[in-house]
Amino acid sequence: MVVYVRDILGVLFMKRYIQLGLILCVILMVSCTSQSRGGRPLDSSSQSIRWQADRLYAIGEYAKAASLYQKLAEQPSGQQNVFRLQAAHALFKMGFDGQAKGYVESINSADLSLEQRNQLYLLMAQIDLSAGNAEQAINYLQLIQPFALTRDKQLEYRSARAFAFALTGQLEASARERIILDAYLLGDEKNQNNISIIEILGLLPAHVQESQLSLRKYDIYSGWLELASIIRKFNKGSSEFNLALDDWMRKYKQHPGLSLIASGYFFTAIASIDDINEIAVFLPESGPYVTHAQAVKEGIMAAYYQYELDVQRPNLHFYDTQSKDIVALYHEAIAGGAQLIIGPLNKQLITQLAVGAEFAVPVLALNYVEDLFKVNLYQFALSPLDEVRQTTNQARFEGHKNAIILAPNTVEGERLATYFKNAWNDLEGNVLGVQTFDQNAKDFSFPVRQMLNINESQYRIQALSKFIANIQSNPYRRQDVDVIFMVAPNKVARLINPQFYHNRAEAIAVYGLSRVYGGQSAPKKDIDLEGVAFCSIPWLFEQAYQGDLDKRTLQKTWEQFPDSFLSLMAFGIDAYNVVAQLNKLDSMQYQGATGGLSLNTVNRIERRLVCAKFKQGEVLLLDAAETVPGDFKYNKTSAPLLERDWLVQPEEGLNAY
């Protein structure tokens, strides 16, 4: 007699399924009862319209969503007041405050749940704030029970309170609301909120500031208050100001104001980057990175000669970073008339230069050193930070939630796995585990099977076979994962990806980093990468980059380098072109060869990439996620892992893992 494991498990869990079925029936009955209160339940057509409206609202199509919600709000049903509320939200998002208010006033709040009533009061407050009625807005905000708000609504609630209190002259209350709000913000929004705290507390009368500081509480509020007092007492940039700021930093070592200091908000000695006529370029002319530097230089020169007829084109002067101490080289370039420095490439040299020189002349470093900020230092790199951030954002945009990270068992692999873990957690995704592998292996079946719990399934079958004769069963993979983040270069990824299909995991989405693509079309080889998505620089894709210096135009130049150096040529093009854009990057994105470039609050140039997916060996561009979150926070315990340079030995290629 043959006994199947599936049949055994079915008998064991049948009772549990019956119990769950009964519970679901009760839930559905309660749901139907609640929907029908005060009117008829929704028919299938109305349900379909509602789902469509919800989807449109979620993706920001507020006009279309409002039209559908309005249609539903006109039909008598138990959900009529809910649809009025949703229509009001969509109309308010469109800026139609008057129409939104009309729907709000027609709502019977008794028909709403606690969560919905909170949303109603919050929307009423926002409409009043938009009209300048701050006192009435505060009245509505006081009706809200914040414990019942979602995280997104908490952000709106705290923002509304902070704004309303500021409008009514309650400055301390406004600042305290913004201190709470800080926990809900990321990136530039967090930095702007910090600036608002300083500016609000700066409006307090001097005697009120001093009275509160005399209490010496040394909490977050007092730290902000003391910073505002320092700005009032001393001129920015003066020796007294700097001494007071140093003293503050010693007292408040964990204060969120430290990030505002790092952003340069408190400094005014910023060199001008307008009308630059002389540029010095720091690149090595020998050593392990000389080929990388040559590829970057070719990109710089291609961009330079593109403007050959421009009489205002600056002069370029190249300096060998292998020739002498980097600080001495900096002073030599300034003595030669340089008004801006491009380079160096090496992280260690960037750090030495930042420590040893006062940047009277701005520097556009061609790499990124974590936690390094200095006035007049701009950092531009082909950093995996941008790739990880956009890859995870793309995965969440496409609806994935539960992830496994597959990375090599190296220091670099651990670093990138940490990036992925923190980025995914910041997007409220679940990291179910990190599986490592030997990147020099030829067979990757074991780590893939281990990751998918195939090996564990086989062990269970073997154990059961000792007690049940003639047992037959196929091992099953785990079912709780819907996305895999794979850290592997092109050749290794070609060996790993087929293992997902062999182990019944073809339904799981797979995302890699830019190096999963070799940079050139190779359909016969890349057929093994079927379904793998990744984000990379626009320059590699003819349909993504519209600049004059595209890949086809510069083919004779890049053919002299390995394919892995293609990105470096694009990097050189942007390194030259972005100089003229530096004053604008904090407010306007520049469409470069390496991505859409923008400047964050710590003067790092971030890149907006394009995303693609392998299909039948070719790469097809994807519809990119509409928003990219701000910088995610790293686990500081892993800081030593962040110090490895992104440039690698010549035989490895760029961004090798």
pLDDT digits (tens, 9 = 90+) for 542-578: 888 888 898 989 999 988 888 888 999 999 999 999 9
pLDDT at 437 over 70: yes
| Mean of the per-residue pLDDT values of the chain | 81
Whole-angstrom distance, CA of residue 527 vs CA of residue 523 = 6
Q: What is the DSSP letter of 310?
A: -
Q: In this structure, how many other beta carbons lie within 10 angstroms of the beta carbon of residue 146?
A: 14
Residue range 272-380+543-603 in CATH 3.40.50.2300: yes
pLDDT-above-90 percentage for the chain = 36
What percent of the residues of the chain are helix, what percent strand, and what percent coil, each to the nearest 5? 50, 10, 35
Provide the strand spans (E) within 230-372. Answer: 278-283, 315-320, 340-342, 363-365
Whole-angstrom distance, CA of residue 138 vs CA of residue 164 = 6
Whole-angstrom distance, CA of residue 229 vs CA of residue 223 = 10
pLDDT band of residue 98 (cuts 50, 70, 90) is: confident
Domain(s) labelled CATH 1.25.40.10 in the chain stretch across: 50-191
pLDDT at 270 over 60: no
Q: CA 246 → CA 14, 199, 258, 312, distances in Å?
A: 68, 20, 11, 42
Q: In this structure, how many other beta carbons lie within 10 angstroms of the beta carbon of residue 238?
A: 10
pLDDT for position 488: 94
Which residues face 483 on adjacent strands?
403, 509
Q: In this structure, how many other beta carbons lie within 10 angstroms of the beta carbon of residue 305?
A: 10
* Range 42-46 contact pairs with CB under 8 angstroms and sequence separation of 24 or more: 42/77, 42/78, 42/79, 46/72, 46/75, 46/77
585's tokens? 């990057």
Whole-angstrom distance, CA of residue 118 vs CA of residue 148 = 8
Whole-angstrom distance, CA of residue 235 vs CA of residue 459 = 71
Whole-angstrom distance, CA of residue 375 vs CA of residue 310 = 30
Whole-angstrom distance, CA of residue 369 vs CA of residue 271 = 21
pLDDT for position 438: 93
3-class DSSP string for 117-137: HHHHHHHHHHHHHHCCCHHHH
pLDDT for position 313: 85
Query: What one-letter code names the amino acid at 273?
Result: I
Sign for the CA dihedral angle at 530, 535, 536, 542 comes to positive
Q: CA-based Rg of the chain, rounded to a whole angstrom?
A: 29
pLDDT for position 431: 94
Query: Could you tell me which CATH number the domain at 50-191 has?
Result: 1.25.40.10
Comparing CA positions, the residue from 580, 569, 582, 597 lying closest to residue 302 is 569
pLDDT at 629 over 70: no
pLDDT tens-place string over residues 473-484: 455 557 889 999
469's tokens? 């004769």
Whole-angstrom distance, CA of residue 135 vs CA of residue 20 = 50
pLDDT tens-place string over residues 183-219: 888 887 888 888 889 878 877 888 888 899 998 888 9
pLDDT at 244 over 60: yes
CB contact at 8 A, 385 and 370: no
Query: Average pLDDT, stretch 163-192?
Result: 87
Query: Average pLDDT, stretch 143-156?
Result: 88
Q: CA 149 → CA 120, 146, 416, distances in Å?
A: 12, 5, 34
Comparing CA positions, the residue from 316, 305, 315 lying closest to residue 282 is 316
Provide the strand spans (E) within 421-496. Answer: 430-437, 483-486
Order of all β-strands in the sheet with 315-320: 315-320, 278-283, 340-342, 363-365, 377-380, 604-608, 595-599, 590-592
3-class DSSP string for 554-575: CHHHHCCCCHHHHHHHHHHHHH
Whole-angstrom distance, CA of residue 558 vs CA of residue 563 = 8
Domain(s) labelled CATH 3.40.50.2300 in the chain stretch across: 272-380+543-603, 388-453+480-537+609-657
Q: Which residues contact 239 (CB under 8 A, 6 or more apart)?
A: none
pLDDT at 136 over 70: yes
Displacement of CA 258 from its chain's centroid (Å): 21
State how beta strands 604-608 and 595-599 pair.
Answer: antiparallel
Comparing CA positions, the residue from 57, 40, 580, 577 lying closest to residue 305 is 577
Burial class (CB in 10 A: 0-12, 13-18, 19+), 345: buried
State how beta strands 430-437 and 618-621 pair.
Answer: unpaired
191's tokens? 């930095």
State how beta strands 618-621 and 610-615 pair.
Answer: antiparallel
Report the range out of 40-44, 169-173, 604-608 with the highest average pLDDT: 604-608
pTM of the model: 0.56
Class level of CATH domain 388-453+480-537+609-657: alpha beta
Burial class (CB in 10 A: 0-12, 13-18, 19+), 374: buried
CB contact at 8 A, 175 and 200: yes
Query: Average pLDDT, stretch 249-264?
Result: 88
* Range 147-151 contact pairs with CB under 8 angstroms and sequence separation of 24 or more: 148/114, 148/115, 148/118, 149/115, 149/118, 149/122, 150/115, 151/184
Helix (H, G, I), strand (E, B) or coil at 544: coil
Buried-state track 14-32, b at ≥16 Cβ within 10 A, e below 16 = eeeeeeeeeeeeeeeeeee
pLDDT for position 9: 33
Whole-angstrom distance, CA of residue 490 vs CA of residue 469 = 46
Report DSSP letters for 336-385, one per residue.
TT-SEEE----HHHHHHHHHH---SS-EEESS--TT---TTEEEE---HH
pLDDT for position 470: 53
pLDDT at 522 over 80: yes
Comparing CA positions, the residue from 168, 162, 170 lying closest to residue 189 is 162
Q: Which helix H or strand E contains 23, and what residues bound it? A: helix 5-36
Query: What one-letter code names the amino acid at 231?
Result: I
pLDDT for position 272: 61
39's tokens? 């009117």
pLDDT-above-70 percentage for the chain = 83
Query: What one-letter code names the amino acid at 116?
Result: Q
